[in-house]
């Protein structure tokens, strides 16, 4: 079953179970996917859908942090509840150790030796992790290993 079909099925289940947060989050996600399809002029495959979900996750994390910084815990809690729903649709997250192995392999393959070559390494690491790693963590690990 494709990810889009899974979202539609889960949306129907959330309606029946009267799960307001889950339903609203899935609707927002389906809307974001549809908007991306309109922008690109084609239907998205599962990898592209995962990319959209990753963008939504990043937005929720940033919004929750912003609300916490501005003493709005009720809004931050809402964003974090939506974040939990979105993360159900992402692949299992890689551990920092697993990411370090991938980063080291890509650095060895590309022959990168300094932080100036970050642009060679990052796209390949991101392609290999496909939504299974946070971009900030990947960037930090790549910078650490290139700085050595």
Q: How confident is the model at residue 37 (pLDDT cuts 50, 70, 90)?
A: very high
All structural domains of the chain with their residue ranges: 3-87, 96-147
More confident residue, 24 or 113: 24
Which ranges constitute the DSSP H helices of 1-148? 3-17, 20-40, 46-69, 73-87, 96-110, 118-129, 135-147
**Quick check: 104 and 113 in contact, CB under 8 A?**
no
User: The domain 96-147: what is its CATH number?
Assistant: 1.10.10.410
What tens digit of pLDDT does each residue of 89-148 get? 988 888 889 999 999 999 899 888 888 888 888 988 888 887 788 888 888 999 988 887
CATH class belonging to 3-87: mainly alpha
Residue 93, burial from CB neighbour count under 10 angstroms (0-12, 13-18, 19+) = middle
CA 56 to chain centre: 7
**Degrees to nearest 5, angle at CA 21 with 56 and 82:** 30
Total-model pTM: 0.78
């Amino acid at each position: 079953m494709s990810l889009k079909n899974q979202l539609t099925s889960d949306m129907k289940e959330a309606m029946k179970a009267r799960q307001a947060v889950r339903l609203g989050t899935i609707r927002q996600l389906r809307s974001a996917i549809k908007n991306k399809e309109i922008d690109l002029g084609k239907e998205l495959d599962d990898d592209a859908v995962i990319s959209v979900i990753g963008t939504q996750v990043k937005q929720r994390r940033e919004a929750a942090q912003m609300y916490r910084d501005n003493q709005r815990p009720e809004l931050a809690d809402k964003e974090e509840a939506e974040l939990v729903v979105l993360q159900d649709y992402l692949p299992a997250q890689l551990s920092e150790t697993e990411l370090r192995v991938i980063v080291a392999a890509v650095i060895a393959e590309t022959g990168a030796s300094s932080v100036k070559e970050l642009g060679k390494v990052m796209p390949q690491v991101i392609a290999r992790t496909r939504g299974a790693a946070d971009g900030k963590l990947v960037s930090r690990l790549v910078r650490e290993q290139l700085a050595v």
